[in-house]
Amino acid sequence: MTTGPTPDQALVPPPGCPAHRGATPATTPLYGPVVADDPHGLYARLREQHGPVAPIELEPGVEAWLVLGYPELLELTRNEQLFSKDSRRWRVPREGRLRSDSRLLPMTAWRPTLLNLDGAEHQRLRAAVSDTLSRIDHRQLRETTEQAADALIDSWGPDGTADLIAQYARKLPLLVFTRLLGLPAETGPHLIELISHFVDSSEKSVRANAEFQAILVDLVRQRRERPGADLTSWLLAHHAGLSDEEAVHHLVVILVAGNETTINWTGNTLRLLLTDRRFRATLAGGRLTVSDALDEVLWRDPPTQNFPGRWATSDTVLGGQYISAGDMLVLGLAAANADPVVHGGAGGDGLAGNRAHLAWGAGRHVCPAQSPARLIVETAVETLLHRLPDLQLAVPGHELAWRPSPWSRALVALPVLYSAFTPPRAAAPSPERSPWTPTPQTGPSDSTPSAATSTPRTPDSAKPGPRSWWNSLAGWWSGR
């Protein structure tokens, strides 16, 4: 015969309840080698132990929740009433438990940006960013990215070796972004170094973040006085009426989120093509495209594997866990993409062309820069495969190392071998105008590759057009 709880038992809150914090399951560190070496294994273990929401530690003494479930992540991102983007609600710093030099500060500190606001103010700022990005001419962006990629490849030495992370993926986006934002070209290498420090949560992250913003403060001041045909000027001129401070912080968002994501997406796609014989064979046979590879990477190894965050506005329950007001919840993008609920036991097959992943987030805060990012990465990969058709990995795939970041999914290096260059494609003649002057959009075909990467080209089609700006910058960047 079963009996009900004793009076003493009835007074005890269930484990995990905000009133019973002592019984909360032990937290798992979301930092250190395990995040880099085997994140998929880590997420699977957390799911098995705790379900779709797991208790984690972001650094010693700083707890949070990692949302692993696909349905739970959708609920988290769509319910602003319960889960706010405003990090000022976080109880850890309010309780004095976040060190002034914490490596988490650059990724969690509140700023007046679309990333940290809800409701009408978020919509105002999002409109400014989205409208500004929509002014990019996709045809010109593709041409500019291809020219920058060709210039980088041309700058490599004659020994038939390269590191596709250090010499290509990490340099190409900022070659494009510096011109896109109106920054001096020579600031590119320094910006890469600064961004790496605070995305990797290194010991230099706080100082790097301050120096990075100082560069952008100067850029905003210059563009306020002398507008040009660039994203910075368009953002300042938007009818949303951004202040200088708001503009600087949104340039940080565009550069960090856009640049870091593009770097990692490029590197992870190239890794897939070099290590997955199945995918490389289907690509060469024309059954899959580079765009399909991009989607598969967004499912399996999204460039941002975890993203901070949401903050509970009141005590609630999510995924069977009792969440206290002020708790931080981290979006487990890679883990949610691997949720068995989504794949129905299919083991993650058939991901090519499927864009139901959560790599860009979800809800009102979904990334507004998906289209230009995809165009840059797709062009970068296609150009490289055309120029170096016999590209192969220089080390066994299992020896590739990942950066120790709790946020990014990024390779340390991608060493390759190749035997010869294929000449670059002919540059189409363009009218004399700024590369970012908006032109009428012609629809989705603007971002569609003009030809498959394996299409043969005649010798006459390989005569390069004028690329002196890119060649000189790429050569300087490579130390020539």
Question: Tell me, what DSSP letter sits at residue 148?
Answer: H
- Whether the CB-CB separation of 154 and 387 falls below 8 Å is answered with no
Grouping H, G, I as helix, E, B as strand and the rest as coil, residue 151 is helix
The pLDDT value recorded for residue 2 is 40
The pLDDT value recorded for residue 12 is 37
| Complete edge-to-edge strand list for the sheet that includes strand 161-163 | 161-163, 415-417, 392-393
The pLDDT value recorded for residue 85 is 96
C-alpha torsion angle, residues 380, 401, 273, 356 (rounded to 10): -80
Count the Cβ atoms, other than its own, within 10 Å of residue 77: 21
The pLDDT value recorded for residue 344 is 62
Q: Indicate the CATH number of 14-477 among 1.10.630.10, 3.40.50.150, 3.30.1120.10, 1.10.3720.10.
A: 1.10.630.10
Report residue 45 as tokens: 């273990």
What helix, strand, coil percent values describe the chain, rounded to 5?
Answer: 50, 10, 40
- pLDDT tens digits, 394-409: 999 999 999 988 999 9
Q: How far is CA 373 from CA 116, 152, 173, 377, in A?
A: 22, 19, 9, 6
d(CA 319, CA 94): 26
d(CA 343, CA 337): 9
The pLDDT value recorded for residue 427 is 57
The pLDDT value recorded for residue 141 is 95
Q: Where are the alpha helices (DSSP H) in 340-460?
A: 340-343, 370-387
Q: How far is CA 296 from CA 12, 337, 413, 444, in A?
A: 47, 11, 21, 21
Q: Which residue has the tokens 């494009």?
A: 176
Per-domain boundaries in the chain: 14-477
What contacts 407, CB < 8 A, 6 or more positions away?
107, 199, 201, 304, 305, 306, 307, 308
- pLDDT tens digits, 155-199: 998 889 999 999 999 999 988 988 899 888 777 778 777 776 765
* CA dihedral for 351, 354, 355, 356, sign (positive or negative): negative
Report residue 394 as tokens: 């220089």
Residue 337 bridge partners (DSSP): none
Please provide residue 176's backbone torsions phi and psi, each rounded to the nearest 5 degrees. Answer: -80, -45
Grouping H, G, I as helix, E, B as strand and the rest as coil, residue 64 is strand
338: amino acid identity, one letter: A
d(CA 13, CA 218): 55
What contacts 216, CB < 8 A, 6 or more positions away?
248, 251, 252, 255
The pLDDT value recorded for residue 214 is 87
The upper half-sphere exposure of residue 70, i.e. CA atoms within 13 Å in the direction of its Cβ, equals: 13
Grouping H, G, I as helix, E, B as strand and the rest as coil, residue 240 is coil
Helix axes 188-199, 172-181, angle to 10 degrees: 110
d(CA 275, CA 264): 16
d(CA 108, CA 172): 27
Count the Cβ atoms, other than its own, within 10 Å of residue 25: 12
The pLDDT value recorded for residue 199 is 59
Helix axes 370-387, 172-181, angle to 10 degrees: 140
The pLDDT value recorded for residue 137 is 93
Grouping H, G, I as helix, E, B as strand and the rest as coil, residue 31 is coil
> Of 368, 127, 128, nearest to 257 (Cα)?
368
d(CA 272, CA 282): 12
Q: How far is CA 382 from CA 150, 229, 290, 294, 385, in A?
A: 11, 28, 7, 11, 5
Grouping H, G, I as helix, E, B as strand and the rest as coil, residue 416 is strand
d(CA 260, CA 406): 14
Residues of the chain falling short of pLDDT 50: 1-22, 346-348, 429-480
pTM value is: 0.81
d(CA 111, CA 87): 9
> Three-class SS string for 397-414?
HHHCCECCCCCECCECCC
Q: Which residue has the tokens 């090519």?
A: 352
